């Protein structure tokens, strides 16, 4: 995003459309630039949209599905490449902080289970942003992580130390990318 103020205005236009024509009872605050930075470093956000109001709970239902949809729409409006989608972030009533804490707790339980059983642990499917957070939470555990699956069914697997991680099979039919699991470190699809 070259001009953050112009990008923030485009996002504000989207939010005005949703709250006037769309009828969502929300108040929103948009922060752009350094003030939008994620204090925990999970997202590389340049634009942060905080939502409150009677309809904020609609945004957080189904594990924040509507929040993720708004992020996706905003990223498309701003013509961001997929790897830059986390530069625009929406939140409602502190949902993301609560979700991050929930993921941290799930990571700790999974670490204990893998260390106790010496068997891999599969997390449920989640968004690329949440998979990235999970990889970061697990990074210092001494265990190995990889993402597996495709599209909305993509999930993180936590492996015991020294475990030989199986390679994913290439997808056929022209749609798959044929990429193996991603280990913690480096950039790429989470």
Q: Which of 134, 82, 69 is nearest to 107 (CA)?
A: 134
Residue 189 phi/psi, 5-degree rounding, is -70, 130
Can you tell me the distance from the alpha carbon of 32 to that of 165, in angstroms, rounded to the nearest whole number? 41
pLDDT at 1: 53
pLDDT at 42: 74
pTM of the model: 0.71
Q: Which DSSP category does 150 fall into? A: -
pLDDT at 173: 42
Can you tell me the distance from the alpha carbon of 116 to that of 159, in angstroms, rounded to the nearest whole number? 12
The domain segmentation of the chain, as residue ranges, is: 4-93, 99-183
Strand spans (E) along 18-170: 27-32, 47-52, 88-92, 121-122, 144-148, 155-159
Q: What is the pLDDT along the chain (190 residues), one digit of tens a residue?
A: 568 899 999 999 999 999 999 899 999 999 999 888 888 777 788 999 999 999 999 999 988 889 999 999 999 999 998 878 888 999 999 898 888 889 999 999 999 999 999 999 999 998 888 888 899 899 889 899 999 988 889 999 999 988 888 776 554 444 333 344 434 443 344 4
Q: Which residue has the tokens 């009828």?
A: 23
Residues contacting residue 31 through CB under 8 Å, at least 6 positions apart:
47, 48, 50
pLDDT at 180: 41
Class of domain 4-93: alpha beta
Can you tell me the distance from the alpha carbon of 88 to that of 165, in angstroms, rounded to the nearest whole number? 33
| Fold (CATH) for 99-183 | Ribosomal Protein S8; Chain: A, domain 1 (3.30.1370)
């Amino acid at each position: 995003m070259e001009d953050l103020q112009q990008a923030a205005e485009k996002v504000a236009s989207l939010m005005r459309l949703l709250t006037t024509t769309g009828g969502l009872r929300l108040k929103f605050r948009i922060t752009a630039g350094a003030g939008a930075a994620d204090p925990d470093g999970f997202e590389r956000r340049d634009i942060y949209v905080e939502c409150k109001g009677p309809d904020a709970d609609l945004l957080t239902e189904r594990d924040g599905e509507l929040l993720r949809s708004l992020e996706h729409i905003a990223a498309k409006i701003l013509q961001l490449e997929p790897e830059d989608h986390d530069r625009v972030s929406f939140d409602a009533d502190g949902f993301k902080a609560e979700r991050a804490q929930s993921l941290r707790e799930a990571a700790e339980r999974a670490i204990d289970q893998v260390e106790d059983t010496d068997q891999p642990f599969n997390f449920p499917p989640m968004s690329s942003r949440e998979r990235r957070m999970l990889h970061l939470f697990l990074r210092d555990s001494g265990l190995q992580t990889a993402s597996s699956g495709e599209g909305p069914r993509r999930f993180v697997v936590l492996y015991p130390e020294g475990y030989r991680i199986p390679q994913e099979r290439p997808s056929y039919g022209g749609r798959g990318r044929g990429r193996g699991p991603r280990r913690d470190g480096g950039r790429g699809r989470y």
